Amino acid sequence: MFKVDERILNDSIFLKELTLSNLYLKKDSENPWCILVPRKINIVELTDLSIEEQKNLLEEINYVMNIFKKEFNPDKINIGALGNVVSQFHFHLIVRYKNDRAWPNAIWGTSPKILDESIFAEWVRKL
């Protein structure tokens, strides 16, 4: 049975089911940050997905990136799948700004200074 790692569930909120993945919004009101989790069992690496599933994932990545571009006017969008802490395969998409808390460095491992619920709610609406 498919189950999402508790760390993802604790750090984000569920937004919707896409074709392959569940879409989550990380609890970060400084940088819009989405996480795609394919609804597959025992997936650790991208190559554990079939080629067709990888194509579906790429379509979902494009879907989120296009929303990010339209709604948030980013300087850059970081994408990646590290899996060093949470081994369940998941994919991060993060809006970056030249004045954000980590620019130009990696944002992984940093925490937002505040969690503004009103900003976060607006992002949920946009996504």
Euclidean distance between CA atoms 61 and 55, whole angstroms: 10
Token digits of residue 17? 């089911």
pLDDT score at 112: 81
For the ranges 59-63, 110-114, 119-123, which has the lowest average pLDDT? 110-114
pTM confidence score: 0.94
Token digits of residue 110? 């940093």
Q: Taking Cα atoms as reference points, which of 52, 61, 51, 48 lies closest to residue 21?
A: 61
**In-domain check, residue 118:** yes
Euclidean distance between CA atoms 1 and 15, whole angstroms: 20
Average pLDDT, the chain: 94
**In-domain check, residue 48:** yes
Domain harbouring 100, CATH code: 3.30.428.10
